[in-house]
A and B are shown apart, each in its own frame.
Chain A
Amino acid sequence: MTVDPTETSVSEDTNNDSTAKAPQIEKSEGKVATETAKSAATIKLSAESLIREFESSQEKTDLPEIYVGDTVRVGVRISEGNKERVQPYEGVVISKRHGGLNETITVRRIFQGIGVERIFMLHSPQVASIKVERRGKVRRAKLFYLRERVGKATRVKQRFDR
Chain B
Amino acid sequence: MAIGILGKKLGMSQLFDDKGRAVPVTLIEAGPCRITQLKSKSIDGYSSVQIGFGDTREKLINKPSIGHLSKSGEVLLRHLREYRVEALDGLELGNPVTVGNFEAGQKVDVSGDTMGRGFSGYQKRHGFSRGPMTHGSKNHREPGSTGAGTTPGRIYPGKRMAGRYGGKKVTTRGLTILRVDSERNLLVVKGSVPGKPGALLNIRPAKVVGSQSLKGGSK
Contacts and interface: CB of A to CB of B under 8 A. Distances in A.
Interface in A52-106: 54-55, 58, 77, 79, 101-102
Nearest to B55: A44
A142 interface: no
Interface string B1-32: 00000001011011110011010000101000
B16 A51 contact: no
A102 B14 contact: yes
A50 interface: yes
A47 interface: yes
A47 B186 CA distance: 11
B20 A124 contact: yes
Q: Say what secondary structure dominates the interface of chain A.
A: mixed
Contacts of A55: 13-14
A50 B16 contact: no
A126 B20 contact: yes
B16 A58 contact: yes
B184 A124 contact: no
A79 B186 CA distance: 32
Contacts of B147: none
Contact of A50 (B19, B20, B186): B186
Given A50-B27, A51-B27, A101 B20 contact: no
A58 B178 CA distance: 14
A102 B20 CA distance: 13
Interface string A92-133: 000000000110000000000000000001011110000000
Contacts of A51: 10-11, 13, 27
B179 to A, nearest CB: 9
Chain B interface size range = 10 to 19
A58 B10 contact: no
Given A121-B22, A124-B22, A47 B29 contact: yes
A45 interface: yes
Contacts of A123: 16
Interface in B194-219: 197-198
Tell which of A47, A51, A54 has the most Cβ of chain B within 10 Å.
A54
Contacts of B29: 44, 47, 50
A81 to B, nearest CB: 14
Interface of B: 8, 10-11, 13-16, 19-20, 22, 27, 29, 184, 186, 188, 197-198
Nearest 4 A-B pairs (CB), nearest first? A126-B20, A47-B10, A125-B20, A51-B11
Given A47-B11, A47-B197, A48-B11, 9 more contacts: A47-B29, A47-B198, A51-B11, A54-B13, A54-B186, A54-B188, A58-B15, A58-B16, A124-B16
